[in-house]
Structure 1
């Protein structure tokens, strides 16, 4: 899956928590979120507005706009390795939970259909 295809797929399934997402979709969308976050921070800096170190209004709006699609693509990525979306709660455990989720995101999806649907590779 290419970069534009991954972005299009994530936003076309804006709040869809069903189905599966390939590794490429997840990582391309993560790169997109990083780039958009950098642009938003630069714009906030140019405006000279900062909410006590937590970013400015542009960053706030961007984060609100991408919250649901980022959660949805993460849940679909977990579905691809045959895990439920509840595993995302590991992100609440500092360092260890983040490492476990990183390992999950790097794993290859289960071949063929699983309980969350057909393989996105086919």
Structure 2
């Protein structure tokens, strides 16, 4: 990645390309961060005020990272020189498993394509 990584672009924008390592590491990062409020919710009594706070925090984290996962997937599809609209397949339960594995392990298009000259950089 370039020295001046734009994390807002990386997690929330749909332009550009990301390689498979950035995609997988971004997903793992989101999974770990999202697990923390869920873990805290499981530790407290379900009827307590703390449970409501942790569940709302988990909901906000989930929605934020849902957007980020879609943005990552669109950029990963761009690395394959495919339109980001194919990310809709990630919402089909059986297809999503195979699509995620393909996005994590298959290399993208080498060299420049219509979505950017290099990976891990905005277009």
TM-score past 0.5 threshold: yes
Question: Hey, what does 2:37 align to over in structure 1?
Answer: 40
Is residue 2:111 matched to residue 1:94? no
Matches of 2:103 and 2:28 in 1, distance apart?
17
Question: Hey, what does 2:13 align to over in structure 1?
Answer: 16
Q: Count residues with an aligned counterpart.
A: 112
Runs of at least 4 residues off by over 6 Å: none
Question: Hey, what does 1:80 align to over in structure 2?
Answer: 79
Q: For residues 10-54 of structure 1, give each alpha carbon's deviation from its aligned partner in whole angstroms, at most 9, with x where no partner exists.
A: x3214311100111111111111111122121111133348xxxx
What is the TM-score with the length of structure 1 in the denominator?
A: 0.76
User: Which of the pair has the greater relative contact order for Cα pairs under 8 Å at 6+ separation?
Assistant: 2
Partner residue of 1:31 out of 10, 28, 32: 28
What is the TM-score with the length of structure 2 in the denominator?
A: 0.75
Question: Hey, what does 1:63 align to over in structure 2?
Answer: 62
Alignment check: 8 A CA contact 2:17 2:79 kept: yes
Structure 1: unaligned runs, 5 residues or longer = none
Q: CA RMSD in A?
A: 2.6
